[in-house]
Amino acid sequence: MKISEAKEKVLFWSKRAYAEGLFAGTSGNLSIYLPEEKVVVITPSSIRYEDMSIEDIVVVDLTGATVEGNRKPSSEMKMHLAIYLENSQVYSVVHTHSPYATSFAVCQEPIPLVLIEMIPFLGGTVNCVPLQLPGTEELAQAVAKGLNGKNGCLLNNHGVVTVGDTIERAFIRAEYMEDAAKIATLARINGEPKLIPTEIEMQMKGI
69 versus 159: smaller Cβ distance to Zn ion: 159
Shortest Å distance, C-beta 95 to Zn ion: 6
Backbone conformation region of residue 42, classed left if phi is above 0, alpha if psi is from -120 to 50, else beta:
beta
CA 12 to chain centre: 16
The CA dihedral of 158, 131, 176, 163, to the nearest 10 degrees, is 110
Q: Which of 76, 175, 178, 201 is catalytic?
A: 76
Query: Under the criterion CB under 5 A, does residue 69 sit at the interface with Zn ion?
Result: no
76 is catalytic: yes
Helix (H) or strand (E) holding 80: helix 77-86
Q: 147, 159, 170, 177: which one contacts Zn ion (CB under 5 A)? A: 159
45 versus 185: smaller Cβ distance to Zn ion: 45
Closest residue by beta carbon to Zn ion: 159
134 versus 193: smaller Cβ distance to Zn ion: 134
Instruction: Judge residue 70's burial from the number of C-beta atoms within 10 Å of its C-beta, 0-12 exposed, 13-18 middle, 19 or more buried.
Output: exposed
Chain residues in the site for Zn ion (CB under 5 A): 159
Supply the residues annotated as catalytic. 76
